[in-house]
Amino acid sequence: MHVVVVVLWSELCTCLCAAPVYNSVFYLLFVQDDPSQSKRSPSSPQGGPKKRSAFGDITNAKQNPAIVTRKSAGKKPESTVTQEVSKNTANLPKSSGRKALLDNGPEQKEKRSRPVVDKENRVQVPAEPSAVTTPKKEPELQIPAYDDVDEENLNDPFLNALYAKDIFNYMKEREEMFVLKGYMEKQPDLNIEMRAILVDWMVEVQENFELNHETLYLAVKLVDHFLATTMCLKENLQLLGSTAILLAAKFDERCPPCVDDFLYICDDAYQREELLSMEVNILKTLKFDINIPVAYRFLRRYAKCGRASLETLTLSRYVCELTLQEYGFIWETASKLAASCLLLALKMKGLGGWTPTLEHYTGYKVADLQSLTRRLNLLLYNRPNDKLKAVRYKYSHKVFFQVAKIPPMDVLELEEQLSC
């Protein structure tokens, strides 16, 4: 029995070895059923399981499989995290290396809190953020050289603080359109004294009707601009002054006086038709553009910018109103005249000089105002004219702090302060 089995086994092996197909059948019948046997890769030197081609493409995407050596094939595959660390380590300088990233010691943490710079100080590599971050220093606020005087009034819609600076810049540009030159030589029937008497009378009208000071300044401007282009007779000079006040009142006052009021103050020397005709002539001569910048508006603005008191403002108003009667000041621009009057008032009150805030908002430096300030101080030294008492009498009242009684500054003292 045993002999027959051995013979059959030997014949079966001989047949299987003769054909490759039988080899496969032999393997399936006898070898595959053995659990101790597993499929091996002939290219694996260690006899490990063969890698799947998909994972091989991921792990060695840029590597040619034909160039892989046996040494690299025998290594274990690195994980994705390890590969990312290797890439980051390759980008770091040689001094740091992989150890600087993987080491968790206290010395390495302290090093990582500082930036890493190469030897030539050209490329700065940001270091890994430390566990304890130091608070960043806030940038220091730069304090402006001047005060923002309009910021505190932004909530008041009646002050137009948001547009105040733009408004006065626009007025300063417009005043260049209304610069006057000497015109009295073109008026054969008038002289400088007649003009001064007319302005003195207009000051009394403004005070009796309780009109705004802007109305008075604008009326004087209307008279000067009309006389600069049109001849006027002496008997019509008062008619010109009263009509100018009427126009200015319509422009600036909420409740201007009526025509009959102006006929009354002229002692009925003119008819109603004459006054209306003069009004038309003034408007046509000025081409209906009577929005002329006046010094009083600038003066109030500059006094506010300089934080001047009401008494200081009143003193500067007194000096500025005296210039209305003086023919020699008609060609001075309104903004420069207002700034010089305020500067002289500050010097007379001993309140210091021209601050950076005033220089910013006025656009004038002390050097620009020196000559005009000296002339204004000399104006206060002039002996009062008996025919021109309205301005001095007005500002001698307690309502105006009796600023007309304040003595002018000494010329040498003023010169010394202006030169500082």
Give the end-to-end CA distance of the chain in Å, rounded to a whole number.
141
Two structure tokens written together for 82: 């390890």
Q: Which domains does the chain show, CATH number per domain? A: 177-286 (1.10.472.10), 295-418 (1.10.472.10)
- Distance in angstroms (rounded) separating the CA atoms of residues 101 and 353: 65
- Distance in angstroms (rounded) separating the CA atoms of residues 52 and 117: 43
H or E element in which residue 194 lies: helix 192-208
Please give the single-letter amino acid code of residue 372: L
pTM of the model: 0.66
The residue among 361, 382, 314 whose CA lies nearest residue 342 is: 314
Two structure tokens written together for 234: 């002496």
Q: How many residues does the chain have?
A: 420
Give the pLDDT of the chain (420 residues) as one tens digit per residue: 444 444 444 555 454 444 444 444 444 444 444 444 444 444 444 444 444 434 334 344 444 444 444 444 444 444 444 454 454 444 444 444 444 444 455 444 444 445 555 555 554 545 555 555 555 555 555 556 778 888 888 888 888 888 999 999 999 999 999 999 889 999 999 999 999 999 999 999 999 999 999 999 999 999 999 999 999 999 999 999 999 999 999 999 999 999 999 999 999 899 999 999 999 999 999 999 999 999 999 999 999 999 999 999 999 999 999 999 999 999 999 999 999 999 999 999 999 889 999 999 999 999 999 999 999 999 999 888 888 999 999 999 999 999 999 999 999 999 999 887
Contact (Cβ atoms closer than 8 angstroms) between residue 98 and residue 85: yes
Phi and psi, residue 300, nearest 5°:
-65, -40
- Distance in angstroms (rounded) separating the CA atoms of residues 402 and 17: 140
C-alpha dihedral (150, 153, 156, 158), degrees to nearest 10: -40
